[in-house]
Amino acid sequence: MDDKDIIRRVKDGDVASYSLIVRKYHIKLIGFLQRMVRNPALAEDISQDIFLNIYKALGTFDENKNVPFEAWLFITAKNAAISEIRKQSHRRTLPIDAIAERPDAAPGALSVLLSRERRLHVKEALCEVPEPHRSALLFQLEGKTIQEIADRQGASSGAVKSRIHRAKAALVRILSKGGLIDHE
């Protein structure tokens, strides 16, 4: 049974059929979210929220349009993960002025804090780089070779080089838009 049939059954009142969707996409969704948030427990929490929210919004999904359910699910997941990453980073962000004005602050405290802030902005910017470009760049930053990345992504080494180049260009564009780097 394909997604369209399952969705029609759920819309017709067969609520139990939704479990078929959950079973079909759960592992794939968890893996996708773990790559984004880098926290298995958080990825599981987000996936539960996504499946609940998708279920509630299923009435608005038109299974007869050319948008596959899987695309809708993963776009929703991506947006939820980005929101969670932003929420997490805002919780950890301290006001710079308050730290700088503390009389007992160590001489290098402000520069350390600014460095952390920059890393958070880069991390947020990375979340905006589209897949598979982001993962290719992250694998390269982890020290993987072009061939290892190609094998992992099921792509040619030329495609991986292109993805890394595009990821870097997108990252520069995003960071320069935010005023974090000068790029002319």
For 49-71, give the DSSP string: HHHHHHHHHGGG--TTSSS-HHH
At the topology level, CATH places domain 1-92 in Rna Polymerase Sigma Factor; Chain: A (1.10.1740)
CA dist 59 → 68, 79, 83, 151 (Å): 15, 20, 24, 40
Angstrom distance (rounded) from CA 36 to CA 29: 11
For the purposes of burial, counting CB atoms within 10 Å of the CB of 33, is it exposed (0-12), middle (13-18) or buried (19 or more)? Answer: buried
pLDDT category at 114 given cuts 50, 70, 90 is: low
Is 95-184 in the same CATH topology as 1-92? no
154-164 pLDDT per residue, tens: 888 888 899 88
Task: Kindly report the CATH number that applies to the domain delimited by 95-184.
Answer: 1.10.10.10
- Would you say 58 and 21 are in contact if contact means Cβ atoms under 8 Å apart? no
Crossing angle for the helix pair 133-141 and 157-177, to the nearest 10 degrees: 100
Neighbours of 139 (CB within 10 A): 21
Q: What integer pLDDT is reported at residue 96 of this predicted model?
A: 42
- Would you say 117 and 93 are in contact if contact means Cβ atoms under 8 Å apart? yes
The ranges assigned to domains in the chain are 1-92, 95-184
Angstrom distance (rounded) from CA 21 to CA 3: 7
40-99 pLDDT per residue, tens: 888 899 999 999 999 999 888 887 787 888 989 999 999 888 888 877 765 544 444 444
Q: pTM score > 0.95 for this model?
A: no
